[in-house]
Structure 1
Amino acid sequence: MAESYPVYGQDRPRRRWGRRLLITAIVLLLVLAGLLVVADRVAANYAEDRIADEVRQQVAQQQLHSSPPSVTVGGFPFLTQVLDGRYRSIGIVLRDVRGEVSGASVRLPQLDVEARDVIASLDTLRSGQGDVIARTVDGKATISYESVAEFIKQPGVQLSEQNGKLAVTAPLQVLNSQVTVRGTADLTVADGQVRLRFAELAADGLPRIPAAQALVNAYAQQISVAVPLPKLPFRLDVREVRPTPDGLAVTATATDVPINGVA
């Protein structure tokens, strides 16, 4: 009986064919994943454009002016949020916000708004009818020191931040001599205003007489003013203010806010 020997190489075509099927399946999965990512991004861009239109209307209703808003819908994937009708967060950036308050111009170089836990149905986004409600909204902005100085209405006033405090430097005429006064202010927020209170001012070379110090104290009262804030969109209520190198940073919050239709 003749002996049989194995023939090497017969399984190679089958193995190559199986490897090709695996590679083809992987490529198809990658292409499908890419298409899903593209579709998800297209849907997010559509929603961002619709929300940006609503923000423009709110800004106009508040008689404010700004550059076109930038809107970013957070969370991935976006389409699952659409189906659920609930969005984790929506970021809104308004640049060069300007408004008139008490005859003076108040400028916010940038207003950053984050709306969280936003409720919006697919029909609302598609038709523009219905409410888009954010459970919480936080806003951050900076008021330029030039805008604040307009309300003080005293020549030569320079405002800045020093060691976390609002500092002032200004020229003052005292008994036929010009001195430079310096000091810091206490900041509070009430009734939609930022209140500046300069309790004590010091002056280099001030004559050591009561009349000279009385003039400085009177000047401190003159520059202690209330700066009214423009009515912010999304019903934002200012809660905190603090000095920074760029200006007065304000923090505002609101709850259960309509993102569309109501200012």
Structure 2
Amino acid sequence: MADVHESTRPRKRWGRRLLITFLVLLAILAAAFVVADRVAASYAEKEIGDRVARQVSDRGATSEKPDVTVAGVPFLTQVLAGEYQEIKILLKNYSGPAGNGKTVKMPELDIRAKDVTAPLDTIRSGKGDIVAGTVTGTGTIGYADLAELIGREGITISEKDGKLVGSAPVEALGQTFNVSGTATLEVRDGVVQVRFTDVTAQGLPDVPLVRNLIDDYAKNLALDLKVPALPMGLQVQKVEPRSEGLVVTTGASDVPLSSGGL
């Protein structure tokens, strides 16, 4: 009996060693996969960033180097499936021409491409279409920059109760009065129209001559703001005054990323 008991011990030790070796190899393979996955994702992010940077330059705009993140883990399984959850592109200090020698500045332009389809064969051959189902972009124009675009001396712009309001000094009857009013915002063919209404001046008499003076001044505060051509075919959809500035929301659908779209 003693001989039989002693002969089984080496087998048990060998079995434990085999299991430990298998687990170690599994851990090494898992770590290698994670590293390979991140390397592949980093390469894709760099390629996308380079293409976006070229688009920014081609449109006469400037920004810092695009910060690109391909969302979703693991990345390689998305490559194999040919479908990507989301691609995030952050452009800091974005500025571009808005016509009439003016420049629109945005501290940040946040772009998100979702439902991206890129078949593996297309990636391998470079032929075929890579398409983003939806692309959205959000940027903010500071009120000081917006006032500069309007170009009237002394004008200040801010948000109050969800509305865009402005005030500026005006001379009338030999005195200087402060004129204030609320602006309406409308988007037409990619142009943001800013029009001031309900303009009043405290202390000025409400007579036709003065009223006409105030109305003419309000018309001079009008602004047609052409948002610069944006990457990935983004078009202005709405503008909204918030405490941090005028928030511009853009969007596009079925955007080709393999050629002109990116």
SS in 2 for 1:196: strand
Query: How has the CA–CA distance of structure 1 residues 191 and 68 changed in structure 2, closer, same or farther, with 3 Å as cutoff?
Result: same
| AA at the equivalent of 1:156 | G
- 1:77 lines up with 2:85 in the alignment: no
SS in 1 for 2:197: coil
Displacement of 1:211: 2.5
Provide the residue aligned with 1:63 in structure 2.
60
| AA at the equivalent of 1:144 | G
Provide the residue aligned with 2:134 in structure 1.
136
- 1:44 lines up with 2:48 in the alignment: no
Q: Counterparts of 1:166 and 1:197 in 2: how far apart (Å)?
A: 10
| AA at the equivalent of 2:154 | G
Deviates more, 1:15-24 or 1:244-253: 15-24
SS in 2 for 1:238: strand
- 1:87 lines up with 2:84 in the alignment: yes
SS in 2 for 1:219: helix
Contact residue 59 and residue 233 of structure 1 kept, 8 A: yes
Displacement of 1:99: 1.3
Deviates more, 1:18-27 or 1:155-164: 18-27
Q: Counterparts of 2:231 and 2:34 in 1: how far apart (Å)?
A: 33
Q: Counterparts of 1:77 and 1:25 in 2: how far apart (Å)?
A: 23
Contact residue 195 and residue 225 of structure 1 kept, 8 A: yes
| AA at the equivalent of 2:110 | D
Contact residue 58 and residue 262 of structure 1 kept, 8 A: no
Contact residue 171 and residue 180 of structure 1 kept, 8 A: yes
Q: Counterparts of 2:145 and 2:128 in 1: how far apart (Å)?
A: 38
Q: Counterparts of 1:69 and 1:215 in 2: how far apart (Å)?
A: 48
Provide the residue aligned with 1:190 in structure 2.
188
CA displacement 1:103-159 (0-9 Å, x = unmatched): 111112111111112122446546766543212111111122233223322101111
CA displacement 1:188-241 (0-9 Å, x = unmatched): 111111111211122222234333333222211211221111111111111110
| AA at the equivalent of 2:69 | T
Identity of aligned residues (%): 47
Q: Cα RMSD (Å) of the superposition?
A: 2.5
Displacement of 1:185: 0.9
Structure 2 gaps of 5+ residues are none
Q: Find 1:100's aligned residue among 97, 115, 118.
A: 97
* Matching of residues 223-242 of structure 1 within 5 Å: 223-242=221-240
Deviates more, 1:123-132 or 1:197-206: 123-132
Q: Counterparts of 1:126 and 1:219 in 2: how far apart (Å)?
A: 61
User: How many residues end up aligned between the 2 structures?
Assistant: 259
Displacement of 1:39: 0.7
Q: Counterparts of 1:35 and 1:218 in 2: how far apart (Å)?
A: 70
Displacement of 1:16: 5.9
Provide the residue aligned with 1:220 in structure 2.
218
Contact residue 51 and residue 260 of structure 1 kept, 8 A: no
| AA at the equivalent of 1:250 | V
Contact residue 241 and residue 249 of structure 1 kept, 8 A: yes
| AA at the equivalent of 1:167 | V
Query: How has the CA–CA distance of structure 1 residues 139 and 65 changed in structure 2, closer, same or farther, with 3 Å as cutoff?
Result: same
Provide the TM-score with structure 1 as the length reference: 0.87
Displacement of 1:254: 0.5
* Matching of residues 144-223 of structure 1 within 5 Å: 144-223=142-221
